[in-house]
Amino acid sequence: MKKSILRHLGAAMLALVGAHSTFAADPFPTRPVRIIVNTAPGGLTDVVTRLVAQHMGDYLKQSVVVENRAGGDGLIGIRAVKTAPADGYTLLAAAGTIAQQMAVRQDPGYDLLKDFTGIGIMGRSPFLMVVAPTQPDKTMADFVARAKANPGKLSYASAGVGTVPHFAAERLLRQVDVKVMHVPYKGNAAAMPDVMSGRVDMILEAYGSSSAKIKAGQLRVLGVTSAARVAALPDVPTIAEQGVSNYSYYTWLCLVAPAGTPSDVVQRLSAALRSAVSSKEMKERFRNDGMEAMDLTGEQFNQFLAREVAHNHKLVTELGVEKQ
């Protein structure tokens, strides 16, 4: 009788071990992955992330959902993902601002290199210098001349203090030696109504999130911040072509996960991202939107982030931006 009971107990234990092994071997992901975008809907980061999420979902054979957490110059979304479980099911989509906020904040509430691990870069994009069609400026030279004639009276909008559009504009304005008032918003998308109405004079905005407004005649383009002209706008000269030598500026869009996310999960997510941005549809979309792909593995991207953090600390000092 005892032997029979022991045999049954042994069989039950083996069954439980087998079931546990099967469960443990289930490949990631077994449920939807969430990507938090730290900007408002409609901006470049949001638009690109939604396209990438769809392709990543196809690769992972699982839903990849996008959720916007705007506010605090992007800090609300960053901090939300920092404290999320490090299991690969909550990711952060952000622009290069994530490497800049550490340089302009007394206490940003996160350390990019300690609190996150890189999944990879979605792509990079130059900015367009745009104004309302009702503005008198037809070229960048017109804007600069008007700003010099009215020091401190013209204004420019940005996605917030310490964001990439803020730094890109400040560097440009300092190189042309004009004083223009900075008006920060909670994302570039939030600033657009005031720019299009002429209440704010200028903004640097990515082509991908402004092309429809340009085609509709709601915005006028004065220049592009890339090193060479954008194929989608061949008649628009670069800022450098217009006399601002050696000036170019790009924003890059990335995915990161909370620090401590298992390496095999990071590698799978990185592979899904690289598959997404290398797809025919995404390549075509990038070409049409003036964007460029950057093929980096998760580890290469972590090294890239370290360089960006160091570069932005140096840039803040050069621009004289006060810490908030």
Judged against a pLDDT cut of 80, whether residue 2 lies above it is answered with no
Dump pLDDT digits (tens) for 24-65. Answer: 457 899 999 999 999 888 888 898 999 999 999 999 999 999
CATH of residue 141's domain is: 3.40.190.10
CATH of residue 92's domain is: 3.40.190.150
- Taking the C-alpha atoms of residue 264 and residue 145, their distance in angstroms, rounded to an integer, is 55
Judged against a pLDDT cut of 90, whether residue 262 lies above it is answered with yes
pLDDT at 25: 52
- Taking the C-alpha atoms of residue 84 and residue 87, their distance in angstroms, rounded to an integer, is 9
**Residue 187 domain boundaries:** 126-242
- What percent of the chain has a predicted confidence (pLDDT) above 70? 92
**Centroid of chain to Cα 155:** 24
Dump pLDDT digits (tens) for 194-204. Answer: 999 999 999 99
Final residue in a domain of this structure, among 205, 224, 242: 242
- Taking residue 5's Cβ as centre, other Cβ atoms within 10 Å add up to 9
pLDDT at 65: 98
**Token pair listed for 12:** 């039950």
Number of residues that make up the chain: 324
The more confident residue out of 322 and 219 is 219
Q: Which of 12-16, 189-193, 264-268 has the lowest mean pLDDT?
A: 12-16
Q: Let me know whether 55 and 139 are in one domain.
A: no
Task: Supply the mean pLDDT for the chain.
Answer: 88
With cut-offs at 50, 70 and 90, classify the pLDDT of residue 88.
very high
**Token pair listed for 191:** 């600033």
pTM here is 0.76
